[in-house]
Structure 1
């Protein structure tokens, strides 16, 4: 059985698309292995997925502390040597890097051994590790074509979209509604700010409580983030009657069903959130995280806004009348939501994992 090595680390945004690709590669008869850091989120998520995991140390450097470039380089060089030894024995047909510093030594080892390297970039601005590997890759797969601008890519460039796991694609509205206790004929607005929540989004949406509760049949599912839950709950001051329609929770580990249940969404514009919103064709109001590297969440969101599949508001405009008007429009205008859904279909995000697998298979060694 031919083997494929996937590598990435640091955030779930690197790992989720890798796991989505792993599902498709396994369906196509490949044995998938994963190379990540011992302490990163990948160590937990990959093992939960039942994929063999091998750990390699890697670290970035702090521009404010130049000496960390030396320690980082030493760590990466040692891991590259270990990865060459590991890969020589494993003999993979290809290596796919998803970003994060750990993918650098793994990709370097593959290059030394003549193993084809494919890079996947989830965001609209390419990360440092992927820029490094792009110079050595046979192919660079992109979520957004704009990510290739200004990057040295000698190999093939292809826009595949950002893979989404099958659990998200297969979740149903009925399952989600039953789990959340929301009637099938209700309109559901989902509010979340990513895994850690978003204080300003929580505050801005909470300030609209009365207007939202005045909308007949509207249910709000509000995922605050663990650190923001108590303050948001206190600020909302929900009555018993309001609490029947405003479902507030610190986190939700069944996001697939939650997203499937929603009619519209207020969210950040991180790679994974956008991919899942796009795959499920959810009408959205996107609020990019203002401190993301190179403001990449704003660039991420622009493609959806340009296609009229979403609204976008900057974080510093959440207290404006325009934000309030857009939230109310999403919650009340069924025709608007239907138009956004139709426009989102053009992205074909549900096909991204298969499109990326096609690229990997094309360059994999026989």
Structure 2
């Protein structure tokens, strides 16, 4: 039985692909544990999925010149040392990293212990930690081509239960949990784990018109943001932990276009209106490019997303069965399947081949 450590911490965009691969490895008989820090969502998400979470100190990289920048080498050294101890104590056979705070220490520790390690990049533009991992000798996997990191293109690992089936158990669970009407079309609005102030404001302006059209709304407004005013057929929650249920009850999603979000929404076969973050290097717009080109989603610039625009988009998509079905079909056709299985199969095949050579 092989023992594999998955390393992806901080945001759901790093953690969910790690857990999808963990599930695929477990289904093939491997024992899997996860590496994380106390700063990320992994302290909630990993135990909830049934995996042991091993913790190391976080290594945040300051974006501006400050005294903290000079503390980075010491923090990296400590995190690598902690990870080496975990790898030795657990007798791990391989490490699979997905970026985030824990990835770079995991790659460096695995290299020094001569443990095989693998690097998955979910974004259209690779991050520094994953680029480092491949340079150190890790086997690269990319969600899309031309990310700037060498590696096979495999797509993004997503959970198998993200089906978007409105008649299944997950949908029934969601309707009961959030008090949703089975006969009404449902708009899901989410800004990710922290919420999105601009999306929240646009929805507040559009809400009377959306509800007046006979639709209902499930809104994740973010734990750090103020709770919206209540309204009939409007369910507002700070955070959605059960995304399988949320996608199952949704008919249309309005959200940011992080790589994991786009992968999950398309895997569920849901039409979407993506509003990329206006910051960073433009990767959020690139993440949604394929499904938008295929007709399964629309892209609205953050500066253009107003209450009026949001209401128009919702009414046109949910109010026109022909447009809605075309978008749903395109989303289904674009959704990636099998990335988690491909990565798990490659890792275990490599370990088996190495074992055969040693024998």
The reply to whether TM is greater than 0.5 is yes
Aligned to 1:299: 286
Q: Deviations over 1:318-344 (max 9, x none)?
A: 128655432221221122221122112
RMSD of aligned alpha carbons:
2.5
Per the TM alignment, residue 143 of structure 1 is displaced from its structure 2 partner at its CA by 1.9
Per the TM alignment, residue 110 of structure 1 is displaced from its structure 2 partner at its CA by 1.3
State how far apart, in whole Å, the 1-side matches of 2:210 and 2:196 are.
19
Contact 1:60 1:69 in 2 (8 A): no
* Equivalent runs, 1:54-65 vs 2, <5 Å: 54-65=54-65
Pick which of 94-103 and 323-332 moved more. Answer: 323-332
* Equivalent runs, 1:95-244 vs 2, <5 Å: 95-147=95-147, 149=148, 151=149, 153=150, 157-169=151-163, 172-215=170-213, 217-230=214-227, 232-233=228-229, 238=231, 243=232
SS in 1 for 2:183: coil
C-alpha change, 1:47 and 1:219, in structure 2 (3 Å) is: closer
SS in 2 for 1:251: coil
Pick which of 189-198 and 79-88 moved more. Answer: 79-88
State how far apart, in whole Å, the 2-side matches of 1:213 and 1:102 are.
43
TM-score calculated relative to the size of structure 2? 0.87
C-alpha change, 1:222 and 1:84, in structure 2 (3 Å) is: closer
Per the TM alignment, residue 315 of structure 1 is displaced from its structure 2 partner at its CA by 0.8
Structure 2 unaligned regions, length at least 5: none
State how far apart, in whole Å, the 2-side matches of 1:185 and 1:165 are.
27
Per the TM alignment, residue 120 of structure 1 is displaced from its structure 2 partner at its CA by 0.9
Q: Deviations over 1:141-191 (max 9, x none)?
A: 1222232x3x4x3xxx22222222344348633333343333333211112
Per the TM alignment, residue 192 of structure 1 is displaced from its structure 2 partner at its CA by 1.7
C-alpha change, 1:227 and 1:105, in structure 2 (3 Å) is: closer
Aligned to 2:252: 264
Pick which of 129-138 and 246-255 moved more. Answer: 246-255
* Equivalent runs, 1:328-347 vs 2, <5 Å: 328-347=315-334
Aligned to 1:34: 34
Q: Residue 253 in 1 paired to residue 241 in 2?
A: yes
State how far apart, in whole Å, the 1-side matches of 2:179 and 2:44 are.
30
Per the TM alignment, residue 34 of structure 1 is displaced from its structure 2 partner at its CA by 1.9
State how far apart, in whole Å, the 2-side matches of 1:11 and 1:340 are.
28
Q: Deviations over 1:266-309 (max 9, x none)?
A: 11112332222111011000111212x31321221222211211
State how far apart, in whole Å, the 1-side matches of 2:244 and 2:82 are.
37
State how far apart, in whole Å, the 2-side matches of 1:180 and 1:64 are.
42
C-alpha change, 1:203 and 1:350, in structure 2 (3 Å) is: same
State how far apart, in whole Å, the 1-side matches of 2:15 and 2:261 are.
13
SS in 2 for 1:25: helix
Structure 1 unaligned regions, length at least 5: none
State how far apart, in whole Å, the 2-side matches of 1:111 and 1:313 are.
43
TM-score calculated relative to the size of structure 1? 0.86
State how far apart, in whole Å, the 2-side matches of 1:320 and 1:248 are.
17
State how far apart, in whole Å, the 1-side matches of 2:138 and 2:51 are.
25
User: What is the aligned residue count?
Assistant: 349
C-alpha change, 1:225 and 1:104, in structure 2 (3 Å) is: closer
Q: Deviations over 1:100-132 (max 9, x none)?
A: 232212211211232221101122221111111
